Amino acid sequence: MTETASAAVPVAVCQFAPTSSREGNRDRIAELTADAAARGARLIVFPEYSSYFVDPMDATLAENAETLDGEFVSTLIALASDYGVMIVAGLAERASDATHVRNTVVAVRGDGILATYRKQHLYDAFGQTESDWVEAGELGGAATFELAGLRFGLMTCYDLRFPEVSRTLIDAGADALVVPAEWVRGPLKEHHWTTLLAARAIENTAYVIAADHPTPIGVGHSQIVDPQGVVLAGVGTSEGIAVAAVERAAIERVRAVNPSLRVRRYSVGPR
């Protein structure tokens, strides 16, 4: 499939609650993909850990981890082919040892995987220790893919608190940041989530497309945020879908009046 430039690209965030049933998660993703595609979405984004999730995390996470050619990714590719869309979703991927997983995000279309990202910043905060179960991804290269002349960059959940991650993607040409998440509930966590989504959009004059788990484990509030930090579409705290258009013209308008990326004086990374 060859993508050509378009004035606007409809994107969808699908907020759902993955469980310990791998088959059930795949079935729910199929239902949501059909719904989002029927609403016109060409890019459909699902949360972190969409393949398998338990709270609290335990040894079953590694027992249910998959490879990138396993059932979960193969299902995503088949759905992308059936509906003529691109899909982004998080999965528990097999790691370098039998007790950990990689917290991985894949972007796919009907002919295969477009980009893969492994979470760099593990959620060892607010009383949680994701690193007990998850192997951190390597620092470095930006994971991006293109659709209709726009470039989308991948990051995950807790990475949102570290602006260097989004900055690396923007320096690689990303027009939109795609953020699958399981933003765990807690004091002020909804405020942190929505504030950071807006901040990453504003400081990079880029779209942010973020899909979370619903309550009671996540905070919900999956959103599509424009380059000025305005929420174009969002979901509340329950399962649901939000759709909005991503437009290059909007990015160019904002960057014309706010040329911060052109005039910045600092670089990211080692010198």
Active site positions, annotated: 48, 119, 157
Asked if 196 and 161 touch (Cβ cutoff 8 Å), the reply is: yes
Rounded Cα gap, residues 11 and 202, in angstroms: 19
Q: What is the DSSP secondary-structure string of 60-94?
A: HHHHT-B-TTSHHHHHHHHHHHHHT-EEEEEEEEE
Question: Which residues fall within 8 angstroms of residue 14, CB to CB, at 6 or more apart?
Answer: 29, 32, 33, 36, 44, 45, 46, 47, 211, 222, 241
9 pairs with which residues across the strands? Answer: 246
Asked if 130 and 154 touch (Cβ cutoff 8 Å), the reply is: no
Rounded Cα gap, residues 7 and 245, in angstroms: 9
Token pair, residue 103, equals 């917290």
Residue 123 DSSP symbol: -
